[in-house]
C-alpha cells in the first residue's frame, strides 16, 4: 500500500520538525532514535497502550502537576514527598514507599521478560 509509506515518511518529517524545533533536540539525537524499530514495536499494540505511552513520554500523564491544570484545589505536589510531581518525578521520587513500589514493578518486569524471552 503506497499510502502507508507516504504516511510513514510524512510522520517522520513532522516528528523531526517537532523534536528539533519544539523540543530543541539536536539532529544527532533525533537520528540516534531507531524510529522504524519503535514503529515496529508499537504496531501490534492497541490504541490504549499507544495513547498511554504518548502521554507518559510527553508529560501529559495523570501527575499532580497535570491534574492541577484543571483541578484548582491541587497544587501539583507529590503526595509522598511534597516536591512538584511531573512525569519525570514518578521515576525519581525520593519517597521510600514510592521507591520500593518502583523497584517492585521493575523486578516484576524483569521476571516477565525472563519468562517471555
The candidate with the shortest Cα–Cα distance to 80, out of 94, 91, 60, 101, is 94
How does pLDDT run along the chain (117 residues), one tens digit per residue?
789 889 989 999 999 999 999 889 999 999 999 999 998 999 899 899 999 888 888 778 889 999 999 999 999 999 999 999 998 898 889 999 989 998 999 999 999 999 997
Distance, CA of 25 to chain centre: 16
What's the whole-model pTM score?
A: 0.55
Amino acid at each position: 500500500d503506497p499510502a502507508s509509506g507516504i504516511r510513514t515518511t510524512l510522520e517522520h518529517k513532522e516528528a523531526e520538525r517537532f523534536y528539533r524545533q519544539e523540543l530543541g533536540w539536536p539532529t544527532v539525537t533525533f537520528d540516534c532514535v531507531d524510529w522504524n524499530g519503535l514503529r515496529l514495536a508499537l504496531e501490534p499494540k492497541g490504541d490504549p497502550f499507544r495513547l498511554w505511552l504518548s502521554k507518559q513520554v510527553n508529560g501529559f500523564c495523570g501527575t499532580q502537576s497535570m491534574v492541577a491544570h484543571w483541578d484548582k484545589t491541587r497544587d501539583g505536589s507529590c503526595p509522598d514527598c511534597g516536591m512538584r510531581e511531573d512525569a519525570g518525578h514518578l521515576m525519581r521520587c525520593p519517597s521510600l514507599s514510592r521507591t520500593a513500589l518502583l523497584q517492585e514493578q521493575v523486578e516484576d518486569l524483569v521476571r516477565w521478560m525472563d519468562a517471555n524471552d
